[in-house]
Amino acid sequence: MSRDATLSPGILRLACIDSEAPPLFNLADGGGCRRGYEPAAAALVASVMGLRVEWEFMAWDDMLPAVAGHRVDAVWCGQGIIPERQAVVNFSEPYAVFDETVLVRKGDPARSPEDLAGYRVAAIEGSANMRLAVTFPGADPVAFTGEDVFGDMLAALRRGEVDAMVDDDVVTVPLGGDPAYDVAFTVRTGNRWGIGVAKDNPFLLADLNAALAAVVSDGRLEKAWTRWMPHLPFPLADQVPA
């Protein structure tokens, strides 16, 4: 494929779900604009490339096929870099690293993996979170997907349709202050998130990596991280020149 062959002039088309998952992202407004760390990071990287971000909203399990089929340029939407996804797309260097947290209903006593025996544990289908959920002894993993998979899991937990859910700490830990939920425990998995690009578009991947390196090096990505997630240490500090 020729250089940037999938790019519309001046636009970087990115796939994501439209969901309320702060501080990563909020629901898009009427004009399609989004707030949160991921939209901010994407805008920084695109600006270095001389491009403007255009979001394409779709169901979670439609995103990777859309990238592979060149219906969008890339997926920038909470994609942990795991082998199942690497079989479909190539990933950039990480723009985020998170651990994974189990959320339960308020008052539930579970505080360890062993406490989840017999629990129905929700996680996104084919995700790093599901890879963790299946390791909990005696738990019954329940796969979720769809247009608003994060919101659907939270609603299922709140209604008692599942007993726990697994997602990255950035979105689950803040919910420990919600009257409906408790944080059970966090597993230090160091889940690396990347930008997914079609395997036959290496030039776009190289450009994204170069732009990402630039905003890490000059401190702009850390500034965006600190604005949206001041409770979490910036995980890419070792990549910043001294």
pTM of the complete model beyond 0.85: yes
Residue 170, domain extent: 99-190
Give residue 176's pLDDT band: very low, low, confident or very high (50, 70, 90): confident
Q: What is the pLDDT of residue 147?
A: 87
Cα distance from N-terminal residue to C-terminal residue, the chain:
37
Q: Which of 16, 39, 20 is nearest to 221 (CA)?
A: 39
Choose among 45, 40, 77, 95: nearest CA to 224. 40
Strands (E), 8-48: 11-16
* Residue 216 is assigned to a structural domain of this protein: yes
Examine residue 118 and state whether it is found in any structural domain, yes or no. Answer: yes
Structure-block tokens of residue 214: 């630039």
pLDDT of 241 higher than 70 = no
Strands 196-198 and 89-91, how do they pair?
Answer: antiparallel
At residue 28, the pLDDT reads 95
List the 74-75 sheet strands across, edge first.
52-57, 11-16, 74-75, 196-198, 89-91
Same domain, 186 and 216: no
CATH code: domain of residue 49: 3.40.190.10
**Residue 2 predicted with pLDDT over 50:** no
* Residue that has been written with the tokens 């308020």 in this structure: 106
Q: Is the dihedral of CA 75, 78, 81, 87 positive or negative?
A: negative
Query: Is pLDDT of 242 > 70?
Result: no
When divided into structural domains, the chain yields a total of 2
Residues 78 and 153 occupy one common structural domain: no
The per-residue pLDDT for range 187-237, each reduced to its tens digit, is 999 999 999 999 999 999 999 999 999 999 999 999 999 999 998 999 998
Judge whether residue 7 has pLDDT over 90.
no
The verdict on 91 and 198 lying in the same domain is yes
pLDDT band at 21; cut points 50, 70, 90: very high
